[in-house]
A and B are shown apart, each in its own frame.
Chain A
Amino acid sequence: KAGVTQTPRYLIKTRGQQVTLSCSPISGHRSVSWYQQTPGQGLQFLFEYFSETQRNKGNFPGRFSGRQFSNSRSEMNVSTLELGDSALYLCASSIQEFTEAFFGQGTRLTVV
């Protein structure tokens, strides 16, 4: 079956702009989590959605937000982009919490 799909794969944005990233989970998976990966901070949890509800949120500013649709697809949005937001943004899906989480290829965001 198809894996986790993230679009787009690459993005270049200017400081101050906003961006929306998309994630389609594995069919049947209702939990979608987002992570930011940078060389300096490693993999850091952003938020997790289950059945359209945000259940958990990491320590990121309010500029980072997300949502999940009824078909379990999820989007995350970053407003007022800063240079430090340049990172690989990863989405993971699982059937439920505390079960195997599978990652997509990520979206590489570069803020210039």
Chain B
Amino acid sequence: GESVGLHLPTLSVQEGDNSIINCAYSNSASDYFIWYKQESGKGPQFIIDIRSNMDKRQGQRVTVLLNKTVKHLSLQIAATQPGDSAVYFCAETGQGGKLIFGQGTELSVKP
């Protein structure tokens, strides 16, 4: 079946360090991926997206890398701040554009 899985359920980093959150996806035909951040009590917040014709995309303090050969996606957060503490989800677009979410990684930033 379709699935997107995250390698690490929790990640703890020191403030100011860089964070890397990984994700594996199973459908090699997927061509659009999104990273979301979800804070407690809130809906998922769009962070960055990438299409399959790209390997890398950069935003403000965030970079998404896509390795289609091994079906791997990663989110890099530079100079991680306490406000970055949240659960991060990768999502792959399946049939009809529906989002297939990974289980999520909880990022904890220590001051």
Contact = CB atoms under 8 A, between A and B. Distances in A.
A90 B46 CA distance: 14
Interface string A7-48: 000000000000000000000000101010000001111001
B8 interface: no
Contact of A104 (B43, B96, B98): B43
Contact of B99 (A45, A96, A105, A106): A45
Given A100-B34, A104-B43, 16 more contacts: A31-B97, A33-B98, A42-B102, A42-B104, A43-B44, A43-B89, A44-B101, A56-B95, A56-B97, A92-B44, A98-B32, A98-B97, A100-B49, A101-B46, A103-B36, A103-B45
Interface of B: 31-32, 34, 36, 41-46, 49, 89, 91, 93-104
